[in-house]
Amino acid sequence: MTRSPLATPFPALPAIAGVTLHVARARYKSWDRCDLTYVTLPEGTSVAGVLTQSRCPSPEVEWCRAALTLGQARALVVNAGNSNAFTGHRGRAAVEAVAARAAAHLGCKPSDVFVASTGVIGVPLPIDKAEAGLDAAFAAQPCDWLAAAETIGTTDTYPKGASVTAIVDGRSVTLNGIIKGSGMIAPDMATMLGFIFTDAAVDAPFLQRALSAANAPSFSCITVDGDTSTSDTVLAFATGAAGNRMLVDDDSLGADAFRAALADLCRQLALLVVRDGEGATKLIEIQVEGAESDRSAHRIAMSIANSPLVKTAIAGEDANWGRVVMAVGKAGEPAERDRLAIRFGTTQVARDGLAVEGYDEAPVAAHLKGDHVEIGVDLGLGDGRATVWTCDLTHGYISINADYRS
């Protein structure tokens, strides 16, 4: 598959004490690559997660939702090539078998094992391949973050990872993340599959609050195609190996620094997904201000971001601001035509419900030729604001999804 022109190099991610990565071939599809990731975690690891709000979630999502209430983790198993979604009792049995086998190997409870799968919907995860893949992972030598990031991908054209550090209670803590996602991206909580690991000591309830807060302006503010996956999962694991005093609430020493680092990491990971949007050639940032509320601004921004007409105009480098007006108008949120203002980059193209007379198209054309396009909208109604990210819509998206199952 052709590498996205918006791809960024995979960074050097440091080791996280207690986190051991393994990959193996379960052969869920007829491809010559690893497709099972197995991560072991030390006793006492806290876990938090944000999961799809789809009403048709995968058994893996339901398993994780139940296990998250206990707040502890010892392992993560990720299957690529088969989402195991919409597979009824057979899908549930597969998840239970995967968790039981990993738990038996580690000597822990099945509920300490978190499972995620991604790929084709409607095909039960073959238990024999899953168990054989796990056995191979148990015997495999530890791998690096790059190998793990490559293994969790499906239609991704490049591996995605990021790392940040923070000072918490006088200790340097590290947060690493890997993520996969390219299509079926319109998260209603998180995005596709993302996994965050830190050596900070964080109480599970506080980790959950911090992750949920970090999710709102990052994973929940991206869209590629307007389609929310049945398998969207982001999990965060905290081993406690850094030795800081446990973060339990916002008054804990270093809590603000940890929250900021986690938010930064989530934003980086989210943008990596948009940069790999299926067929994408341009990253589009949409800034909405002047709305009646932040929620209203977000809904309007997502209406613009999910408009095929807006996205194809940007693909064609056409500053068709009328399509932006259309997307604002259909969002179902308060808007007044004669207060609306629109810009591309720093150039105002419409104001007070009219085109800006005699505006210079040269800087607009130059801006649209770049690979990072910014659209600004001011509704002139209030203080609500939001920023979301999407990508353009090209023939490449159709080519990838027209034969996805082959």
- Active centre residues (catalytic): 191
The answer to the question of whether 278 is labelled as a binding residue is: yes
Answer yes or no: are the C-beta atoms of 327 and 310 closer than 8 Å: yes
- Residue type present at position 91: G
Answer yes or no: are the C-beta atoms of 42 and 241 closer than 8 Å: yes
Work out whether strand 20-24 and strand 193-198 pair parallel, antiparallel, or are unpaired: unpaired
For residue 183, the 8-state DSSP code is: S
The answer to the question of whether 401 is labelled as a binding residue is: yes
CA distance 300 to 311: 15
Q: What is the helix (H) or strand (E) element at residue 396, kind and residue range?
A: helix 395-402
Kindly tell me the burial class for residue 162, based on how many C-beta atoms sit within 10 Å of its own C-beta (0-12, 13-18, 19 or more): buried
Work out whether strand 341-344 and strand 283-291 pair parallel, antiparallel, or are unpaired: unpaired
Q: What phi, psi does 82 have (nearest 5°)?
A: -150, 115
Q: What phi, psi does 301 have (nearest 5°)?
A: -60, -40
Token duo for residue 361? 């198209």
CA distance 92 to 115: 11
CA distance 154 to 35: 9
SS3 114: strand
For residue 5, the 8-state DSSP code is: T
Maximum distance among all Cα pairs of the chain, rounded to whole angstroms: 72
Token duo for residue 193? 């599959």
Token duo for residue 195? 């996994």
Residues 6+ apart with CB under 8 A from 362: none
Kindly tell me the burial class for residue 232, based on how many C-beta atoms sit within 10 Å of its own C-beta (0-12, 13-18, 19 or more): buried
Binding residues for substrate: 154, 180, 191, 278, 401, 406
Please give the annotated binding residues, written as ranges: 154, 180, 191, 278, 401, 406
